[in-house]
């Protein structure tokens, strides 16, 4: 007989180093892995940070690939993996946000190289065995232990210069992982506790960062929350929110964190009737109307107000609904075409969520 305490929890092995100035420990972490030849990854915008990592490693930095982009296009992954083989790298060091972490995972999938990740945003994907890659206009995800990073170095110093708007959207993107973990099919008491702690930490920190981006304590709270959100994302399956964001992002090339920020309140409102206990828990950390609280948080951190503002065409709503209904994720509330159309329409127009 099943009881409320019956559950399965899988902990994913990863070494986490958290604090300020922790990037200085990168050479020792390479030595722990027995690695001597690092390929360093970044986006074009963060190439200077990758160069600083290369200087820290000295001769152990054998290559630099500053070509990571959103949604991890397969052609970029293939090009970077070929470079890793050419320079005979024995470890990948990724410094940046979700785009750079995703590229490191894609290389690991193709080469079996170990990964060290130095996050500079609140993406959380560094704590997951999940990889999403885009080809032919669609984003496809897979879960495999081959892409789980071996070491994650959280350095609060790297987040101090993160622009306040990007901090806000990146942080709400992280909150989305924890929110969906609360009602995931595989949820369990450990993940529920981590998720609530993470949501509360980020919800407190993000408005402070929006007003004072250099506030170190708030930055530490946000990075701590993002780490916990990443554990949630990597431990249980996701639902409607992530399906919609992958569909919208991959199909219309929308910015990842901003898309998550816009969709989360609406996806939570959609599922609210089916998850009363989760809504009660969220009320303890977000307030009386959790979906509206998340919508208001987006405005407080000055996130884009609508999918239209991100560049999604109005005539794409029907296509997005069709794709969301094709091979749908598990979700606590059945997916209904009319309700999904209304959800995406509200997000497209920047309207508040409706339960």
Give dist(CA 233, CA 103) in Å, integer.
Answer: 18
Name the pLDDT band for 11 (thresholds 50, 70, 90): confident
Name the pLDDT band for 4 (thresholds 50, 70, 90): low
Beta strands in the chain (DSSP E): 15-19, 38-41, 61-65, 91-96, 115-119, 130-135, 138-143, 151-155
- Per-residue pLDDT tens digits for 335-346: 999 999 999 999
Which of 204-213, 244-253, 327-336 is predicted most confidently?
204-213
Classify 137 in phi/psi space as left (phi over 0), alpha (psi -120 to 50) or beta.
left
- pLDDT confidence of residue 6: 82
Name the pLDDT band for 349 (thresholds 50, 70, 90): very high
* Pair of tokens at residue 288: 């009386």
- pLDDT confidence of residue 9: 82
pLDDT (average), residues 152-169: 95
- pLDDT confidence of residue 59: 98
pLDDT (average), residues 105-131: 95
Chain mean pLDDT for the chain: 95
pLDDT (average), residues 265-286: 98
Which CATH number does the domain 164-349 belong to among 3.40.190.10, 1.10.606.20, 1.20.1090.10, 1.20.120.1630? 1.20.1090.10
The pLDDT of residue 2 is above 70: no
% of the chain surpassing 90 pLDDT: 87
* Pair of tokens at residue 326: 């094709």
- Per-residue pLDDT tens digits for 319-333: 999 999 997 789 999
Dihedral sign computed on CA atoms, order 296, 297, 303, 307: negative
DSSP 8-class letter at 36: -
Q: In which residue ranges of the chain is CATH 1.20.1090.10 found? A: 164-349
- pLDDT confidence of residue 1: 46
Name the pLDDT band for 13 (thresholds 50, 70, 90): confident
* Pair of tokens at residue 160: 């101090």
The pLDDT of residue 5 is above 80: no
Instruction: HSE, CB side, 13 Å, CA atoms: give it for residue 68.
Output: 26
Name the pLDDT band for 139 (thresholds 50, 70, 90): confident
pLDDT (average), residues 211-234: 96
Longest dimension (CA), the chain: 60
Name the pLDDT band for 258 (thresholds 50, 70, 90): very high
pLDDT (average), residues 205-215: 97
SS3 (DSSP) at 114: coil
The pLDDT of residue 3 is above 80: no
Q: In which residue ranges of the chain is CATH 3.40.50.1970 found? A: 15-159
DSSP 8-class letter at 24: G
- pLDDT confidence of residue 320: 95
% of the chain surpassing 70 pLDDT: 99
Domain 15-159 belongs to what topology? Rossmann fold (3.40.50)
């Amino acid at each position: 007989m099943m009881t409320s305490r019956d559950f399965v929890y899988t902990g994913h092995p990863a070494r986490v180093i958290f604090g300020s100035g922790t990037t200085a420990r990168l050479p020792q972490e390479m030595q722990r892995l027995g690695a001597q030849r690092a390929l360093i990854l970044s986006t074009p915008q963060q190439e200077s940070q990758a160069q600083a990592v290369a200087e820290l490693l000295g001769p152990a930095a054998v290559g630099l690939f500053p070509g990571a982009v959103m949604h991890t296009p397969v052609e970029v992954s293939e090009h970077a993996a070929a470079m890793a083989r050419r320079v005979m790298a024995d470890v990948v060091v990724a410094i940046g946000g979700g785009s750079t972490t995703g590229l490191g995972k894609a290389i690991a999938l193709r080469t079996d190289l170990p990964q060290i990740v130095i996050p500079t945003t609140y993406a959380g994907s560094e704590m997951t065995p999940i990889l999403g890659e885009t080809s032919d206009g669609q984003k496809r995800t897979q879960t495999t232990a081959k892409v789980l990073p071996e070491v994650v170095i959280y350095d609060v110093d790297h987040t101090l210069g993160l622009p306040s708007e990007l901090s806000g959207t990146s942080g709400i993107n992280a909150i989305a992982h924890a929110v969906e973990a609360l009602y995931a099919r595989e949820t369990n008491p450990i993940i529920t506790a981590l998720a609530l702690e993470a949501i509360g930490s980020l919800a407190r920190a993000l408005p402070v960062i929006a007003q004072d981006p250099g506030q170190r304590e708030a930055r530490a709270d946000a990075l701590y929350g993002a780490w916990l959100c990443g554990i949630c994302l990597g431990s249980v399956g996701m639902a409607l929110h992530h399906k919609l964001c992958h569909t919208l992002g991959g199909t219309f090339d929308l910015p990842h964190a901003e898309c998550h920020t816009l969709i989360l309140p609406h996806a939570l409102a959609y599922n609210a009737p089916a998850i009363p206990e989760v809504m009660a828990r969220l009320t303890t950390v977000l307030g009386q109307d959790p979906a509206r609280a998340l919508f208001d948080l987006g405005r407080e951190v000055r996130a884009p107000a609508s999918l239209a503002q991100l560049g999604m065409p109005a005539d794409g709503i029907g296509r997005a609904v069709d794709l969301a209904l094709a091979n749908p994720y598990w979700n606590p509330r059945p997916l209904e075409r009319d309700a999904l159309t209304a959800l995406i329409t509200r997000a497209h127009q920047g309207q508040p969520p409706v339960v």
